[in-house]
Amino acid sequence: MRLSRSFLPTLRDTPKEAEIVSHRLMLRAGLIRQQAAGIYSWLPLGKRVLANIERIVREEQDRAGAIEVLMPTLQSADLWRESGRYDDYGKEMLRIKDRHEREMLYGPTNEEMITDIFRSYVRSYKELPLNLYHIQWKFRDEVRPRFGVMRGREFLMKDAYSFDIDEAAARRSYNRMFVAYLRTFDRLGVKAIPMRADSGPIGGDATHEFIVLAATGESAVFLDKEALDAPVPGADTDFSGDLTPIVSAWTTKYAATEEMHDKSAFEAIPEDRRLEARGIEVGQVFYFGTKYSTPLGAKVSGPDGADHDVHMGSYGIGVSRLVAAVIEASHDDAGIIWPSSIAPYQVGLINLKAGDANTDAACDGLYQRLMNAGIEVLYDDVDGRAGAKFATMDLIGLPWQLIVGPKGLANGEVELKRRATGERETLTLDAAVNRLVAG
């Protein structure tokens, strides 16, 4: 994409309303624009990151055997009356009346609706296990939305729901999602640690939060350092096999958020392995048994011929929140440092003398060669000061900067900068292209 034909409105000044670094950087880098309290538009660069995260989340859900559907944003109040949550949910639920005065709501989550879908179609244990997920906008009417998309009101979430014949099978479904989450967050370029958590309004007796470690995180976390070293399961993981060993490896070492913190258990860990850090919740997995299936009548006939209320779990990932969480975990004073897997573009190609025929030709050629190799390039082809161009590229945080000016070209050379480390190399044009193609 040529900068001259794109829409990347970066801000020079730090917006006053932004209290945390990810919010400041998302506004400054032109990723989002606030439209109302806690409600944001995603500008082109932000939309690309969001789509990349969505793609990785989807791939790992599919790999783990979950099946994608798409439920609507608005729901009928009737379903929520069946589960008893319509009255329980409080003011965070956005309640709406349509033109016929029918009571509706903007879904904050989808346990009721997915259970309704399940009970409409599934009759036999032979159709289980079943795990349905969707990636859809949700709304929670936070009393004081803040921190940008970290605690917005309208937010994008992946939520999956598993259905099983009994608790043992449901624990296997839970483990599949647990392992999918380890892979997902690893691919997104963040270190996320599963921690025992409180089940909150979803209910249930087994639940883990996945917490991204970031110095600027919202909550304190307490860890055995060895919890950081468990290996991430590979792409060849057999999701039909026994995943208990993987889950155990990630859950036996001490790791807890502040609210679940057990001081004496923590202090039983050798002192040099105790880590107090900060983190951001980016996902949560729940097993909640028959909490929804019983009131909503979601049952299947079992091998014994009798009806059984299905055992359910739900599994959320905060897709839009992750954009902010990744930035909290990966930035410096100059701006964002995108992990390659979700960067809006891989390379920022900087023309230091736009308008100069030679420099333009060299840049146009590099742009074409990189695009032909399938590399996504943001090509700064506009006339401007070098310092401003460098600052903008650092701010938006693409993994590589390819810097092309008349001086270097006189020697047949360009400069390649790696954003994460600041390392710079002077290379021939061919060598630079080869380096970028190699990844």
Task: Decide if residue 411 touches a copy of itself (CB under 8 A).
Answer: no
Task: Decide if residue 98 touches a copy of itself (CB under 8 A).
Answer: yes
Among 21, 96, 202, 206, binds a copy of itself (CB under 8 A): 96
Q: How far apart are CA 414 and CA 427, in angstroms?
A: 6
| Least distance CB 38 / a copy of itself (angstroms) | 9
Q: How far apart are CA 355 and CA 240, in angstroms?
A: 59
Question: How far are the Cα atoms of 41, 186, 232, 363, 370 from residue 349, in angstroms, in the given order?
Answer: 27, 28, 34, 8, 10
Size of the site for a copy of itself (CB under 8 A): 52
- Strand, helix or coil at 373? coil
Structure tokens at 163: 């259905």
Contact set for a copy of itself, span 419-438 (CB under 8 A)? none
Among 17, 19, 91, 259, binds a copy of itself (CB under 8 A): 91
Contact set for a copy of itself, span 184-223 (CB under 8 A)? none
Task: Decide if residue 17 touches a copy of itself (CB under 8 A).
Answer: no
Q: Which residues of 287-323 are buried (b: 16+ CB within 10 A; e: fewer)?
A: bbbbbbbebbebbbeeeeeeebbbbbbbbbbbbbbbb
Contact set for a copy of itself, span 103-142 (CB under 8 A)? 104, 106, 113, 116-117, 120-122, 130, 132, 134, 137, 139, 141
Q: Which residue type sits at 339?
A: P
Instruction: Kindly tell me which of 6 and 219 has the beta carbon lying closer to a copy of itself.
Output: 6
Asked if residues 179 and 243 have their Cβ atoms less than 8 Å apart, the reply is yes
Instruction: Kindly tell me which of 76 and 251 has the beta carbon lying closer to a copy of itself.
Output: 76
Question: How far are the Cα atoms of 21, 168, 228 from residue 245, in angstroms, in the given order?
Answer: 37, 16, 16
DSSP letter for 231, please: P
Instruction: Kindly tell me which of 72 and 241 has the beta carbon lying closer to a copy of itself.
Output: 72
Q: State the CB neighbour count (10 A cutoff) for residue 50.
A: 21
Instruction: Kindly tell me which of 127 and 198 has the beta carbon lying closer to a copy of itself.
Output: 127
Cis peptide before 72 (omega within 30 of 0): no
Structure tokens at 92: 């965070």
Question: Site mask, a copy of itself, residues 47-86, x = CB under 8 A?
Answer: xx-x--------------x-xxxxxxxxxx----------
Among 33, 273, 407, 424, binds a copy of itself (CB under 8 A): 33
Contact set for a copy of itself, span 135-154 (CB under 8 A)? 137, 139, 141, 143, 153-154
Q: Which residue type sits at 431?
A: A
Q: How far apart are CA 153 and CA 37, in angstroms?
A: 8
Q: Using CB under 8 A as the criterion, which residues of the chain lie in contact with a copy of itself when the complex forms?
A: 5-7, 9, 30, 33, 35-37, 39-44, 47-48, 50, 65, 67-76, 91, 94, 96, 98-99, 102, 104, 106, 113, 116-117, 120-122, 130, 132, 134, 137, 139, 141, 143, 153-154
